[in-house]
Amino acid sequence: MVGGRAPVAPDARGMDEVQLIVTGYALTIARGVLHRAGDIARTVAPAHRYAVIADDTTGGLYGERLAAVLSPTPVIQLRFPPGEASKTRETWSALTDALLDAGCGRDTTIVALGGGVTGDLAGFVAATYLRGVPYLQVPTSLLAMIDSSIGGKTGVDTSHGKNLVGAFHRPAAVIADPELLRTLPAEHVRAGLAEAVKHGVIADASLFDWIASHAAELLAEPDGPLMTECIARAVAIKARVVEADERESGLRKTLNFGHTIGHALERVTSYRLLHGDAVAIGMVVEARAAERVGIAEAGTAVRIAEALRALGLPTTPPEELVPERILAATPSDKKSRAGAVEYALPCRIGEMAGEAQGYGIRLEEEVVSKELGVRS
C-alpha cells in the first residue's frame, strides 16, 4: 500500500482494451490502438497540423504509420539521434527552431512517438513552444508505457544531472499499443519491467508477486496478453499516485524509489547503463539501506533482488564503480533538499515509509556506502 491505502487497479485479464483517467486525460492501453491514434488525436487535440517528434530509430519504424492515421490533417515529422545524450537543451532548441521554421502556430499539436527520452523531450517542447501547445504521448517502449508517459513531467538533462530543467505539462492523451513492443530489444523489455516491479514494491504486493511468478512469460511474449495486464496494473498505480499528488509535494515521491541511486548510476556511467537497469540496482541498494536503519522489514531487499534476477536484471553496481563515486553524484538529483539527499524507502513490499516526512527520508552516506559495496 501507499500511505496505507490500496490502489484501485483494473482487471485486465481477457480484456482487449483498458482505459484509465488521470488528472483530466485518458490513457488507452490496447493492442493495435496505434491504428486509432488519429481518431483519438482529433477528438482530444484537434489541430491544423500535427508535429510528430521521434528519434531516428523509432521514427523510421513507426513514423509513416502514425502520419497515415493522422491524415488528412497535415503532418510534419521531426527527428533527432536516439539515446539519452540527445535529451538536452540543444536538441530542444533545434526542435523548437524547426517548428518555427515550418510556421507552426498555436493550432499545432505535438505527438511524442517513442520511449522515455522522446516523451520527456517532446513534452518539454510542447510545454514551452509558444508558451504551451497540446501534445499526445504515443509510447513505444515498455518503460514509457508503464511509467514515463504518465504524469505530465517533461524535461531535459544538463551536465549537473538528469531532468533538472523541465516543466509539468499534461498530455492530451496517452496511447499505449503493446504490439509496438515486438520490435523492442530484450534488454529494454527487462528494463521496462523494472519500473513495474517498483510499482509493486511501493503500492501493491500482489502485483509484485504476480510479476515475479510470471517473469518467464512476460519476457517470452512482450506483446502478449500478460504484458497488457502488467502494463494496466502498473499504470493504475501511477495514475492513482499522480491524481493524489500531481506536483510531487508528497505521495508522488514514492515513485522515486530506486531512483536516487539509479540516477547517480546513470550519470557516472554517462548513461550507458539503461534506466531500468540503474533503477533495479538502486531499489536493492536503497532497500538494503532501509533495512540497515530499521525502516524496512528484514528480507525486503532479498525479495526485491530475487524478483529482479528472475527478470534478468542487475542487482549490484558495476564492479568498476566505487561507492564514493556513486555517492558523489547523488546530490545533483532533483530530489535533494537543502543540499541533503532524500530517498523514497519501503517499509515492506507494497507499502512505503515516511508519510510523516512527505516520503522523503535522509540517510547517512556511510549507510548507503556500505550497501553500494555489497556485491552478492
Active site residues: 131, 153, 195, 238, 248, 252, 256, 259, 263, 275
Dist CA 25 CA 88 (whole Å): 27
- CA atoms in the 13 A half-sphere facing the CB of 45: 27
Name the region of 147 (left: φ>0; alpha: ψ -120 to 50; beta: rest). alpha
- β-strand 351-352 against 161-168: which pairing, if any? unpaired
Q: Position 31: which residue type?
A: R
Residue 145 DSSP label: I
Question: Could you tell me which residues come within 8 angstroms of residue 241 by beta carbon, excluding any fewer than 6 positions away?
Answer: 2, 203, 251, 252, 254, 255
C-alpha distance across the termini of the chain, in Å? 29
Q: Which residues of 101-114 are buried (b: 16+ CB within 10 A; e: fewer)?
A: eeebeeebbbbbbb
Residue 8 DSSP label: -
Dist CA 279 CA 197 (whole Å): 10
Query: Would you state the cell numbers that stand for residue 279, as one nine-digit string?
Result: 533503477
Dist CA 120 CA 125 (whole Å): 9
Dist CA 301 CA 317 (whole Å): 15
> Which residue's entry shows cell 524478483?
307
Q: What angle do CA 271, 352, 238 make, to 5 degrees?
A: 60
Dist CA 188 CA 190 (whole Å): 5
Residue 10 DSSP label: -
Dist CA 217 CA 196 (whole Å): 15
Q: Are 323 and 373 in contact (CB under 8 A)?
A: yes
Residue 184 DSSP label: S
Dist CA 219 CA 189 (whole Å): 7
Dist CA 212 CA 344 (whole Å): 22
